[in-house]
Chain A
Amino acid sequence: EIVMTQSPATLSVSPGDRATLSCRASQSVSRNLAWYQQTPGQAPRLLIYDASTRATSIPASFSGSGSGTEFTLTIHSLQSEDFAVYFCQQYDKWPLTFGGGTKVEI
């Protein structure tokens, strides 16, 4: 199975900062990659799919890039509601797999 590795595990930032999160696949997943945001006690929320397409109602402050095995999620100018855990997920090959997450904290 494809192993998704996210780094860093925890990212400490301040409101207004830019955050850069990384996701690496153990083999190429083309651009079949999604990013999710999860706050405590809530289900994940889709942010980005196909590596760089924002999902419905997701603000332009979120952007995704990359292809193959290396992907990045950038959050421009962090707001208080952006402090959460972020997961990447590949949907190129079975089984579908997720990364372990990056916690963005103050």
Chain B
Amino acid sequence: QVQLVQSGAEMKKPGASVKVSCKASGYAFTGYYLHWVRQAPGQGPEWMGWINPNSGGTMYAQRFQGRVTMTRDTSLRTAYMELSSLRSDDTAVYYCAKGVGPSTRFDYWGQGTLVTVSS
């Protein structure tokens, strides 16, 4: 069965960076785009961007341009999302989600990684 397993919760200070991992199993890792979506407490989800695990190509939402980097390691079937220059309003649960393509719905989600930014 399809599974996306993310790394554990992180606590960071303002200005720091965080890197979240997402290990995929149960499907052809390089056949489907992986998206990153975050959800602040009590808010709707917010799409951050995608990575094409086959080519390594990426697309980021404009508001995260310059602060986010998405990468993958095909040998480990793992995708990564790194967010830099953290602010308190980056406190959220970060999800990886499998998409059929670049512009799509998300049929499987990771369990989420809570990132807390606080001094």
Contact = CB atoms under 8 A, between A and B. Distances in A.
Interface residues of A, number: 23
A28 B45 CA distance: 20
Report the contact-size class of chain B (Cβ under 8 Å from the partner).
20 to 34
Contacts of A32: 103
Interface string B12-28: 00000000000000000
B95 interface: yes
A26 B97 CA distance: 25
Interface stretch (A14-22, A67-75, A97-105): A97-105
B75 interface: no
A106 B62 CA distance: 39
Nearest to B46: A98
Contacts of A92: 103
A51 to B, nearest CB: 11
Contact of A43 (B47, B104, B111): B111
Interface of B: 35, 43-47, 59, 61-62, 95, 97, 103-107, 109-112
12 contacts: A45-B109, A87-B44, A87-B45, A89-B45, A89-B105, A91-B103, A91-B105, A94-B103, A95-B47, A96-B103, A98-B46, A101-B44
